[in-house]
Every structure is written in C-alpha cells, then in structure tokens.
Chain A
C-alpha cells in the first residue's frame, strides 16, 4: 500500500485564464497546469462534459483568498518583540501578486519549469488567445458554411449567447476578479451590476431563441415580452424573501467578522500577554527579569494597539525606537524615547542610529537608571540627545584602548559629516549627536 501524498487544498488560484479552476486543480493534483488545461479543453469538446465540469468547479471551489481566510493566522510570538517588529512590516506587500495569493501560488517541485512558461505565454496573453480562438471558430464555421456544409446557425448563435451570458454573470460572483477590476479601472458596484444584467439578458434571449426555434423576429419579440413579464412577477413575489434572506446573510456575516476579530484579539493576548504573565510568575523572585519582561510586553502591546498602520514605517524614529527596545532588553534599564519630527533613512542616518545605540548602551550600563532619548528631526537635520543620571565620567580618563566612546560615537559621527558632544557632570551624562541635512543628503546621493 502506498502512502497518500500530502496535497494542497483544492482552491481556485489567482494564476488564471478564466476563473483559475485549471491552475487550482493542477496545484491540487500536482500535474502541470498546461496538461490540465489541455485536458479540460478536450473534455469540453467531448459533448461539453469539460464545460460542465469547469462550471461546477467554478461554483463549488473557493478562491485561494477565501480558503486562506478560513484558516485564521496567529500572530508571531512577541517574546522577542524587537526582532519581530523589525521583521514585521513589508513582508506582506512584497510578493507583487494579488493580496493573500502569495503563499498559495507557490508551485510544487514538479511544475517549477512549467508555471513560468504559462505566466509568460498563458496569463499575460490568455484573454487574447481565448478571443482569437473564438474568432477562429467563428471564421471556421463561416468557411464551412460557404463550402456548403450545413451548420445550423439558428442553434449555434443562441447557444453561444447563453454560454457567454452565463460566464459574464458568473464572473461577477468571483471575488478576486471584482477586486482586480476595482483596483485596475476603479469600476464600482454599478459596473458589476451592469455586467450581471447584460449576462442575464444574453442568457434569456439565447434560451428563448433556442426554445422557440424560429428566426422570426416578431415571434421572438412577443415571447421575450411575455417571459420578461413572468420574470417580473416572480421577482415581485420573491423580492421580500430575497431581501430578508439577504439581510440575515449580512447580519450573519457581520457577526462572523466580529467573531473573527475577537478570536484574533484573544489569540494575540494569549500568545503575548498570557505567556508573559506566566513567565513573570515563574521568575517572581528576580526583580530584574520581571521588570524586563513587563517592559518588553508593554512595548509589544502598545505597538499592537496604537500603531498607526497608515504611517510610513522604517523611518528614523522607528529605527531609534527599535534600537532603544534592543538596549532595554539587553540591559534591563528603561530607555524612554521621545521623538519630534521624522526623516527617511539614509546611510549617514544609519550611522547616527548606530552611534545612538552605543550611547544608549553606555548610558544604560553606567548610568544605571532610566535613559532619556530625545530625537528631533526637521528640515533634514537630525539631533539626538541621550541622557542618563549616572555618576558621570571624564573622556580624558577613559583608557586609550576603550573605543566605545571615541570610535563608535565621536569617530563615527565625524566620518559621516556629523558631530558628537559629550557633557558629563556628577549628576549625569548627556551625549548630543547632530547630523546636518547636507551630510544626510550627501550620503543619500552617493548610495
């Protein structure tokens, strides 16, 4: 008995020509997408079985997005908040594909070569190829008729209308497709409804012509009128039910969203706060560890609660806060960062951050209490002040082989066109770092 291979769940992929059924199926079965598509076309020619199968899968199989949403994600462990904060932003948007699709489209080992081929040949020109095939088919039929072969246009055209209308209408059900449309052309709900109506009209007209079986315009027109009247009546009768059903559905969906949010918050609290509380209880004897854990957890929770997601991240103030968090974790003394203004990161500003880190480490190690850090960035100039309340020191008294202050702070700032000043008295030490706009911009131009 062979062991069953682990298959990815069946979901419609965003790598698609019509609705992503074939590529989703290929992913699920581990077959090349090309073969699946070819098979589907062949099956469609065999009395329309492929078409039926395709439509059935289209309706029944969720998109990759929906499937991903069903398996809720849990937040990463926050016990190393400094690390997770640095790594956090940016990863979700880098993939360059549809939202949420990045994880699911990854091809299995067997298809690594075929998927790129399809990406170049299939997806980019997929619609055009499909359209071309359709036009060729029409041309073929016309030529066949000219050559005297009897093709009954009377059934072919209505059938095509029904098929086309149905797929136009179904495409509206496709969430990813609609999202794509909204993104690309700013088409809103109105456009969607228009397409739905057009699809419906095509199907109704096609069915009528097929059923009535006559090309007579008069008769078709009458039948159309009658059927529209009947449809209108049915809609009138069913509308209240439909509305009620719709409202129930909406209410249920809202409830589910709330439930999901609650579950996410619960998961986050569990993974962060409860874990930290457990750690604190186990280490209740060690005051130093308790304070450190509480500070780290506070920082993480604050970041999660108050982070402004619309704000640009990776700015100078974010870097300095991240470095402060790192120093806090390392040495256990609180590092309070107050920032005014902000600036984008450059090579020179990274040097400023590193010098700042060194100063914070010194302040925390030798000052022994809370370290105050103040960042002011305006018009490209950045100033950072690092203050502690330790016993202070004389720069001249520092042994020549200790490079922390001389090299990592003063030397580094000077090399990047900035300056560093150290003021130390018996009441504490303040390190003042300054990076003028010209220095920061110059480095930006070089890199």
Chain B
C-alpha cells in the first residue's frame, strides 16, 4: 500500500498507545518489531474475548485488529469493535487482513473501523497509518478505494439522491486517485487542494460507507466476494 508514503503525517508529542489483536503470534511479534519508536505496544490479544478485555483495561489510542479472529460468537474483528463500542470515541480501530473478501471488509468498516490495510504492508507504511488513524483520519488502501467506487458507482451524485447513497464529484475524484496508487499528498497536489481537504473528503467517504443504508452495499458485498 502506498497511499500513506511520504505524506509527512505530523507525529503526536506523546507516543501512540497501541494494542495488537491477531491470532498468529508470529505476525504479532513481526508487526511489533516493524513499528516505529513513536508507537508503544501496550497489549496483545489472540481471541475476541482477550481483545475486548485488553482494550477495556488499556484504553489504547489505536487497535490494530485482524478481521478474522477465533473465539466469541464467530464474528471476528467486527465483534471486538461491537464489544468495545463504549470506547469508540477515544479508541480507534484499524483493520488488518489478508482476506480480500468484500463482506469481511464491509462488516469491519461498518462496525466502526477507521481504515483497512492488507497485511503485506511495510513497517513504515503501517506506522504512518497508525499515526493517521490516531489523528482521527481515515486510512484507505487502493483496494478499499476501488471497493468504494465499485459499491457506490462511478457516477457523481444528483442533488435528488440521498446524500449518503452517493459520492460527490470531488469525493469520486479523490477515491479514483487513491485507487490509482496516489498518496494523500499526491492527491492534494493533483487536485490543487490541501492535504487537510483530502483527509476531510476521505473521512466523509468513510462516514458514508459506515452509515449508508444503500441496499446495494451489503448485497453487492455478498454477491461479489472479491475486492
């Protein structure tokens, strides 16, 4: 994923407190080693129950959350977010997955995750994504942007449409550029807008993705299992 490359996300003064939730110990330790010094891993969990307990106890800034987790009722990452709903305003979730299945991604984003990245992402990129999510922004990979475009359609919104069911012309442009592999900074340069405006657009798209009652969204995800 290259969206977050070299965007110069401003680092918070205090280290970002992170909990890693993944059922593979090898992946957790690898991820921990990859993360920047500005990120402090305060807890780890391998199952849904452990995750909910650790998150409630540590109240981290960001949770790196695997989409597929054992335990609980079988809901995986979605269930962890639902179980930590009370902390959602302060604790932010970044979904990590090897799965390309749209259903999984839609489920975890609609449950409240602030972004979705694949597990093949590099250490620098994930560090950047963590800072971005901690700062309240959304993290979109090219795949997620492609998924949004496919689900919402590539035609801009009419005024008559429900605002939540369509993307505005500007949001479409931003999504298209992200799908093409542009970083936020490059998107800003291309569209002659500030990075902050790009972030606002991306957050708006995330909100639509989470709140839209557009029936195509879930149907689409169930029908097409690939991103």
Contact = CB atoms under 8 A, between A and B. Distances in A.
A374 B142 contact: yes
A339 B146 contact: yes
Contacts of A338: 142-143, 145-146, 179, 227
A212 interface: no
Interface in A304-336: 306-308, 311, 336
Given A308-B225, A374-B142, A376-B176, A336 B154 contact: no
B142 A302 contact: no
Contact of A378 (B5, B143, B146, B154): B154
Interface in B150-172: 150, 154-155
Contact of B100 (A302, A340, A427): A302
B149 A376 contact: yes
Contacts of B186: 427
A372 B142 contact: yes
B156 to A, nearest CB: 12
Contact of B154 (A340, A372, A389): A340
A341 interface: yes
Given A336-B142, A370-B2, A389-B2, A430 B149 contact: no
For chain A, which range describes its interface: under 10, 10 to 19, 20 to 34, or 35 or more residues?
A: 20 to 34
A387 interface: yes
B224 interface: yes
A378 B182 CA distance: 21
Interface string B164-206: 0000000000001001111000100000000000000000000
Contact of B181 (A306, A308, A336, A378): A336
Given A306-B101, A340-B150, A372 B225 contact: no
Q: How large is the interface on B (under 10, 10 to 19, 20 to 34, 35 or more residues)?
A: 20 to 34
B42 interface: no
Contact of A374 (B2, B101, B179, B226): B179
Interface in B5-33: 5
A385 interface: yes
B146 A374 contact: yes
Interface of A is mostly: strand
A306 B150 contact: no
A341 B150 CA distance: 7
B100 A374 contact: no
Contacts of A389: 2, 5
A308 B181 CA distance: 26
Given A308-B226, A427-B186, A340 B180 contact: no
Nearest to B143: A338
A430 B2 contact: no
Contact of A306 (B100, B142, B182): B100
A387 B143 CA distance: 15
A430 B154 CA distance: 21
A385 B146 contact: no
A341 B149 CA distance: 9
Contacts of B226: 306-308
Interface string A370-398: 10101010100000010101000000000
Contacts of A340: 146, 149-150, 154, 179
B180 A385 contact: yes
Contacts of A372: 2, 142, 180-181
Interface in A419-436: 427, 430
Nearest to A374: B180
Given A308-B224, A338-B146, A341-B150, A387 B100 contact: no
Contacts of B5: 389
Nearest to B144: A338
Contacts of B179: 338, 340, 374, 376
A338 B5 CA distance: 18
Interface string B81-107: 000000000000000000011000000
Interface string A95-138: 00000000000000000000000000000000000000000000
A302 B101 CA distance: 10
Contacts of B100: 302, 306
Contact of B225 (A306, A376, A387, A427): A306
Contacts of B176: 374, 376
A339 B100 CA distance: 13
Interface in A265-320: 302, 306-308, 311
A211 to B, nearest CB: 62
Contacts of B225: 306, 308
A339 B179 CA distance: 9
Interface in A353-382: 370, 372, 374, 376, 378
A374 to B, nearest CB: 4
Nearest to B182: A387
27 contacts: A302-B100, A306-B100, A306-B101, A306-B226, A336-B181, A338-B142, A338-B227, A340-B146, A340-B149, A340-B179, A370-B2, A370-B181, A372-B2, A372-B180, A374-B142, A374-B146, A374-B176, A374-B179, A374-B180, A376-B176, A378-B154, A385-B180, A385-B181, A387-B181, A387-B182, A389-B5, A430-B180
Q: Which 8 A-B pairs have the closest CB atoms?
A: A372-B181, A338-B146, A374-B180, A387-B181, A385-B180, A340-B149, A340-B150, A374-B179
Interface of B: 2, 5, 100-101, 142-143, 145-146, 149-150, 154-155, 176, 179-182, 186, 224-227
Interface of A: 302, 306-308, 311, 336, 338-341, 370, 372, 374, 376, 378, 385, 387, 389, 427, 430
Given A306-B226, A336-B143, 9 more contacts: A302-B100, A306-B225, A338-B142, A340-B146, A372-B181, A374-B176, A376-B176, A376-B179, A387-B180
